[in-house]
Amino acid sequence: MNISRRSIKVISMMALPLLFSTACIKKEEVEVIKTAEVTATAPAKKALSQDEIVIGAVFPMTGAIATYGQESVNGIKMALEVINKSGDLAKKIRLIVEDNKGEPVDSSNAVRKLINIDNVHAIIGSVASSNTLAGAPIAQQNKVPMLTPASTNAKVTMTGDYISRTCFTDDFQGVVMAKFAHETLKKSKALIIVDNSSDYSKGLAKVFSTEFTKLGGTLLGTTDEFTYTQKDTDFRSLLRKVKRQNPDVIFLPGYYTEVGLMLKQAKQLGMSVPFLGGDGWDSPKLQELAGPEAIKGNYISSHFSPDDQDPTVKSFVDAYTESFKQKPGAMAALGYDGMLVLADALKRAGELNHRNIRDAIAKTAGFKGVTGSITIDAARNATKSAVVLETTPAGMAFKQKVAP
Amino acid sequence: MNQDLVYFFSDLVQYLINGLAQGSIYALIALGYTMVYGIIKLINFAHGEFYMIGAFVGYYCLMSGMPLLLAFPVAMIGAGLVAIVVEKIVYKPIRHAGRIPALITALGTSLFFQYLGQGLIGADPKAFPEAIKSVTYTFGEVMITSTQIIIMAMTFILMLLLYWLVNHTRTGKAMRATSFNKNAAELMGINTDKIISITFFIGSSLAGAAGVLVGMYYNTVEPMMGLIPGLKAFIAAVLGGIGIIPGAVIGGLVLGVAENLVVGFWVSTYRDAIAFGILILILLIKPAGILGKNRREKV
Amino acid sequence: MEYFSHLLLNSGIFIILSVSLNLINGICGQFSLGHAGFWAVGAYTGAAYGVYLAPDFLPDFVNLFISCGIGFLTAALAGVLIGVPCLRLRGDYLAIATLGFGEIIRIIIMNMDTVGGPRGFTNIPLWSNLFWVYAWVAITILVIANILRGTHGRAIISIREDEIAADSMGIYTFKYKTMAFVLGAGFAGLAGSLFAHANQFLHPNGFTFMWSVIILLMIILGGLGSITGSIVGAVILTFLPEMLRFMGETISEWRMVIYAVLLILLMLMKPTGIFGKHEFNVLSFLAKFTGKKKEII
């Protein structure tokens, strides 16, 4: 008697999950059949809406790295305004922004939601490579084009032929800055400080170190010796250690949130060595965080120069400054360009289905954006020029342009 | 060889100074943690958010042109008032239900303030106005900035004040009584609800003070800034023996110094791992924290 | 709909995580905050098997089975390494020590290049599906529910109720605490392996201590000590933030704030969680209607 009751209790406890599983086995069978069909007879997906264009954006709008996501979305929304106002596209674009909190799990959920529920034409996102990598396999499996405006990690576009990007990769920036340090600044003893929790930073550091030694410079220490992690605020002890090594140039590929603090603390410690960085520095916030003294005399590679008198850049910078009461940073510019490239592809796609949109994105060539002339290559990466900027209290000053 | 030795010692002193400055901030936050825990046995996960609120109150006060001497107490009071409101609305109704539900409401409160901050103020870091010009004093190879001195001095002063308050005033006596045995304290005519609110107020205003000091030290404030220092302060409080006021200070300083020594003499990659390792080691040797007494449990 | 079936799959994984944490926290009464660490150990070792070692000739479900086994064993081993020294700590001290270990595990993974480090672990084969995830859910529940019914389970429960009394009754509390801890860790590792093969991508930042806290939330929301409660809690907390995406633009913009408010409200209204310490039971449920007196435990 007791035993039977016990087993009933256990079974009743399992009722819930079992119910789920039986309900879902059926679903799964259906899906297996569906995918089988897809592979057999071309696309059998839900037809895309032809009355309006739905674009999904996946960005960290909350959470630890929300500042990059919010800035990117600002740029995207501005681009959208321009597109919808100009009437170049016969149909209106509707943007659905999904938050991923900067978490891989949420990224993959958000991408699934956009594809399955909203039936989007294409996805734009995300900023951190780890979030893009979490969402990319899903977009690839569902054959929905995904365009990332700012994920520079080489792996991102290797996920599959539906994933492309409108920014350059880490490799290019590292080479540019190594050449700049050695040839333009004539420095020979470099030291690298790495953000150990960021793949972007590690990637740039690696490329810089090989390129710099190849050019004949010496590297003090290794790339794992001077590290910090995102959200750190106190770099005084690290900088003390760096100072002991006596470098004549420091490469610091990181994001402006930490770099700003580090520059300020370095100045307080009496360091006057130039710091070099990548596009992660490029934000008007950097000037605020570092302060007018510490910001002087450092150089970064980035995508565009806000002082550029080119009408495309000028109108973007003016419009952005008016809307958001601050100058645009790299994230905003990249988001803006990403959206424009996507709109341009939609214009050329003809009948709107995922395959056509993807093909149109891949055929982008010489698109004139804020961040330069964008051409998507065979590996679905953008080839475009980089600029070297000097950080000054007033903003980023143009130094030189480097062609790919 | 001799020169190396000079370098070594001056570096050591430098790391100690940096560590003490950072540890002071941990200590200030940990004090509030430990006080609240001492009185209602609640791990107040939202404590880091009171620190963030204090920092933002200070930020907006200074931006509006208020002098620092006024902005500092205003930020402390602001953080304290928010804490009282939270205590009255959220913690008080759940106090009778035991510790675990209270812990979850604390977590909920923490998430609430973080995401509300990101929604209202925006996630981007704000540059904290430079209220006092930072001056660097150099002694041979060792450097100390005026902000570091202010931070350490303020921590010391606030700690003395707290010590005096808890040990030499009627309110302090009531606090100790409530912490010792709440029911008995109530029977002796102590309004424990009021005492708990006061404890929240004091603890959170200390966190608010830490928020302003951090703003001055690192020049940045943002809505998620409470997360990591909150966690570190919790560790510091446990390290020193949770519920014990001097323990929180010792725990904070030990943690700060240990972190800076790891960064300075080894690689920073494992800084947090080492910090946690030290914590676990100390707990294994002294399971109730540095100052905690190993009481044998009785039935 | 693939989106919903994926959410279901995720909630299955979280059911395993919450039921296993419930064994440690709710049933044995040991306050652990390091569950995400064990989850990560299982996820990374299971994924490493899938990426580097798995022979292609085996069918996927066999590979998944092996991967889950590896995840279980490594996480259980981590459980032994952490549990044996730490379980002599009590209450909040144990919580902070396990939290520390969880973070240490994450930092180590962050610095291991073979599993991607901060780049994240990519190209993990897709082996998990709803059937196998829920099969494992059923196995987990069966194992844990059955242990609870036996001598071991009674001993474990007695530790929660009063450790000193249990000790004086001749129960070797350390052994049973370790047993609960290691078993809980093992199942978390198993969930990790399923998770890796469902999402195909792992990143160390997906295993921060906030996730330990979220799993803890699940079991407290459902009712500490109740297995049914853990299941319901896991399902609710997986679906809730996602469902808030559908409530229109303003709400989805503020969804995390709303989520936090809902949490607080739920706790204020039902501090013991949805189920309290009770299990959902068909017999007692029916007894309510027939008016029969409850006689089952």
pLDDT in tens, B124-163: 888 888 878 878 888 878 888 888 999 999 999 998 999 9
Q: Chain B: which residues have CB within 8 Å of chain A?
A: 7, 11, 14-15, 18-19, 22, 115, 118-119, 122-127, 130, 134, 136, 138, 143, 145, 214, 218-220, 222, 224, 227-228, 260, 263-264, 267-269, 271-272
ipTM: 0.85
Q: Are B219 and B128 in contact (CB under 8 A)?
A: yes
Determine the average pLDDT of the residues in C83-96. Answer: 85
Q: Which of residues 84-123 of A touch C (CB under 8 A)?
A: 98-99, 101-106, 108-110, 112-113, 115-117
Q: Does A309 touch chain C (CB under 8 A)?
A: no
Answer yes or no: same fold for A53-168+309-384 and A171-302.
yes
Q: Among candidates A209, A148, A146, which has minimal Cα distance to A175?
A: A209
With contact defined as beta carbons under 8 Å apart, do C198 and A134 qualify? Answer: no
Give dist(CA A53, CA A349) in Å, integer. 12
Domain boundaries, chain A: 1-44, 53-168+309-384, 171-302
C-alpha span between B205 and B82 (Å, rounded): 10
pLDDT digits (tens, 9 = 90+) for B233-291: 988 988 888 888 889 999 999 999 988 988 888 777 788 888 888 888 888 888 888 88
Does pLDDT of A369 surpass 80? Answer: yes
Average pLDDT (C192-221) is: 90
**pLDDT above 70: percentage of residues in chain A:** 89
| Packing angle, helices C227-243 and A104-116, rounded to 10 | 60
- From CA B152, how far away is CA C130, in angstroms rounded? 57
Contacts of B145 in chain A (CB under 8 A): 268
Residues 6 or more apart whose CB falls under 8 angstroms from that of A245 comprise: A191, A220, A221
Spatial contact of C103 and C37, defined as CB atoms under 8 Å apart? yes
The pLDDT of residue C283: 63
Q: Specify the pLDDT at position A31.
A: 41
Neighbours of chain C (3+ CB pairs under 8 A): A, B
Nearest chain A alpha carbon to B257: A237
Contact A338, A369 (CB under 8 A): no
Least confident segment among A43-57, A137-151, C91-105, C250-264: A43-57
Q: Could C142 and A14 be called an inter-chain contact, meaning their C-beta atoms sit closer than 8 Å? A: yes
Indicate whether C117 pLDDT > 80.
Answer: yes
The b/e string for B66-95 (b: 16+ C-beta within 10 A; e otherwise) is: bebeebbebbbbbbbbbbeebbeebbeebb
Give the mean pLDDT of B92-116.
Answer: 86
Instruction: Tell me which of C190 and A399 has the higher pLDDT.
Output: C190
Q: What is the largest CA-CA distance in chain C?
A: 63
d(CA C217, CA C230): 9
Q: In angstroms, rounded to a whole number, what is the distance separating the alpha carbons of residues B269 and C50?
A: 28
pLDDT band at residue B292, thresholds of 50, 70 and 90? confident
Neighbouring subunits of B (3+ Cβ pairs under 8 A): A, C
Mean pLDDT calculated for residue range C243-254: 79
Which two tokens mark B59? 């930020």
Return all residues near C60 (Cβ < 8 A) that are at least 6 apart: C125, C127
pLDDT greater than 70 at residue B166: yes
Main-chain phi, psi angles of A188, to 5 degrees: -125, -15
Tokens of C277: 């310490």
Q: Distance between CA atoms of C137 and C12, rounded to whole angstroms?
A: 6
Q: Is the pLDDT of residue B92 over 80?
A: yes
Judged by phi (left if over 0) then psi (alpha if -120 to 50, else beta), residue A143 lies in left
Reading the block at residue C153, the tokens are: 């389970």
> Contact B109/B86 with Cβ under 8 angstroms?
yes
Measure the CA–CA gap between B35 and B43, rounded to whole angstroms. 10
A285 and B125 within 8 Å at the Cβ level: the answer is yes
Contacts of B103 in chain C (CB under 8 A): 220
Chain C partners within 8 Å of A104 (Cβ): 120, 199, 201-203, 205-206
Report CB contact under 8 Å: C296, A13.
Answer: no
* Distance of alpha carbon B78 from alpha carbon B276, whole angstroms: 32
Do C117 and A202 count as a contact with CB atoms less than 8 A apart? Answer: yes
Q: Which two tokens mark A319?
A: 């419009």
Q: Is the Cβ pair C281, A137 closer than 8 Å?
A: no
- Chain A residue numbers touching B255 (CB-CB < 8 A): none
Q: Are A250 and A242 in contact (CB under 8 A)?
A: yes
Q: How confident is the model at residue A283 (pLDDT cuts 50, 70, 90)?
A: confident
Query: What's the mean pLDDT in C16-30?
Result: 92
Residues of chain B positioned with their CB less than 8 A from the CB of C263? 104-105, 107-108, 111
DSSP string, B178-233: HHH-HHHHHHTT--HHHHHHHHHHHHHHHHHHHHHHHHHHH-EE-TTTTHHHHHHH
pLDDT confidence of residue B295: 63
Q: How many Å apart are CA B159 and CA B250, to the nearest integer? A: 11
Q: For residue B267, what pLDDT is reported?
A: 74
Do residue A229 and residue B268 have CB atoms under 8 angstroms apart? yes
- pLDDT score recorded for residue C295: 46
pLDDT of amino acid A250: 94
Q: Is the pLDDT of residue B1 over 90?
A: no
Distance from CA of A12 to the nearest CA of C (A): 6
Cα four-point dihedral sign C5, C7, C13, C14:
negative
* Beta bridge pairs of residue A122: A55
The DSSP secondary structure of C32-94, one letter per residue, reads: ---HHHHHHHHHHHHHHIIIII--TTS-HHHHHHHHHHHHHHHHHHHHHHHHHHHTTS-HHHH
Give strand pairing partners of A124. Answer: A57, A147
Using DSSP's 3-state secondary structure scheme, residue A394 falls into coil
With vertex at residue C195, the alpha carbon angle to CA C189 and CA C196, rounded to the nearest 5 degrees, is 95
Report residue A42's pLDDT band, with 50, 70 and 90 as the boundaries: very low
Which of A332, A336, A363, A385 has its CA nearest to residue A145? Answer: A363
For the segment A234-257, the average pLDDT, to the nearest whole number, is 89
Output the average pLDDT for chain A. 83
Residues 6+ apart with CB under 8 A from A85: none
pLDDT digits (tens, 9 = 90+) for B47-73: 999 999 999 999 999 999 888 889 999
pLDDT given at position C284: 66
C221 in Cβ contact with C230 (< 8 Å): no
Q: What are phi and psi of A227, to 5 degrees?
A: -130, 160
- Single out the residue of A170, A172, A207, A212 nearest to residue A190, CA to CA: A212
Cα–Cα distance, C142 to C38 (Å, whole number): 21
Above 50 in pLDDT, residue A24?
no
Chain A partners of C111 at a C-beta cutoff of 8 Å?
196
Q: Which of B46, B22, B77, B71 is nearest to B208 (CA)?
A: B77
Strand ranges across the sheet with A298-302: A218-220, A189-192, A249-251, A275-277, A298-302, A386-392, A395-402
Q: Which helix (H) or strand (E) holds B142?
A: strand B142-145
> Which are the contacts of C226, defined by CB distance < 8 A and separation ≥ 6?
C22, C26, C273, C275, C276, C277, C278, C279
Four-way CATH pick for A171-302: 3.50.50.60, 3.40.50.150, 3.40.50.2300, 3.40.50.1000: 3.40.50.2300
- Rounded CA-CA distance A389/A300 in Å is 5
Mean residue pLDDT of chain C comes to 87
pLDDT exceeds cutoff 90 at C45: yes
Q: Is C172 helix (H, G, I), strand (E, B) or coil?
A: coil
Nearest to B227 by CA among B27, B45, B44: B45
Q: Do C145 and A13 touch (CB under 8 A)?
A: yes
pLDDT at C286: 66
Q: Find out whether A18 and A327 touch, Cβ atoms under 8 Å.
A: no
Question: Which pLDDT score, from 0 to 100, does residue A29 have?
Answer: 40
Segment (H or E) for A302: strand A298-302
Question: How many C-beta neighbours within 10 Å does residue A15 have?
Answer: 13
Q: What is the pLDDT of residue A45?
A: 63
Domain locations in chain B? 23-225
Nearest residue to A278 via CA among A292, A260, A296, A299? A299
Contact between B124 and A70 using a beta-carbon 8 Å cutoff: yes
**Which pLDDT value is given to residue A221?**
82
Q: Which CATH superfamily hosts domain A53-168+309-384?
A: Response regulator (3.40.50.2300)
Three-state secondary structure readout of A168-230: CCHHHHHHHHHHHHHHHCCCCEEEECEECCCHHHHHHHHHHHHHHHHCCCEEECCCCCCEECC
The SS3 assignment for C239 reads: helix
Q: C-alpha angle B98/B102/B104, rounded to 5°?
A: 130
- Whether residue B93 and residue C268 make contact (CB cut-off 8 A), yes or no, is yes
**Residue A252: predicted pLDDT:** 92
- Report the percent of chain A where pLDDT is more than 90: 23
Largest CA distance in chain A: 89
Check residues A337 and A223 and name the one with the higher pLDDT: A337
Least confident of A74-83, A382-391, C243-252: C243-252
Band the pLDDT of C288: cuts 50, 70, 90: low
| Alpha helix stretches (DSSP H) within chain B | 2-40, 47-63, 68-86, 92-94, 99-120, 146-168, 170-180, 182-187, 192-218, 227-240, 245-265, 271-285
Cα angle vertex B174, ends B168, B175, to 5°? 90
Return the amino acid letter for B231. L
Q: Which chain B residue shows the shortest CA-CA distance from C216?
A: B104
Residues of C with Cβ-Cβ distance to A28 under 8 angstroms:
5, 129-131
- Distances from the Cα of A64 to the Cα of A254, C105, C240, angstroms: 15, 20, 21
pLDDT of res. B132? 80
Is A28 within 8 Å of C232 when comparing Cβ atoms?
no
- At C94 the pLDDT is 87
pLDDT band at B9 (very low <50, low <70, confident <90, very high): confident
* Token code pair at residue B102: 């209270």
Place of tokens 């809307």: A323
What pLDDT shows up at residue C292?
A: 53
pLDDT band of residue A22 (cuts 50, 70, 90) is very low
Give tens-digit pLDDT for C153-174: 899 999 988 888 988 888 898 9
A11 has pLDDT over 60: no
The answer to whether C92 contacts B283, with C-beta atoms less than 8 Å apart, is no
Which residues, numbered 31 to 60 in chain A, qualify as contacts with chain C under a Cβ-Cβ cut-off of 8 Å? Answer: 31
What's residue B110's pLDDT?
92
How confident is the prediction for chain B on average, in pLDDT?
A: 88
**pLDDT interval class at C285 (50, 70, 90):** low
- Show residues of chain B in contact with A70, CB under 8 Å: 122-124
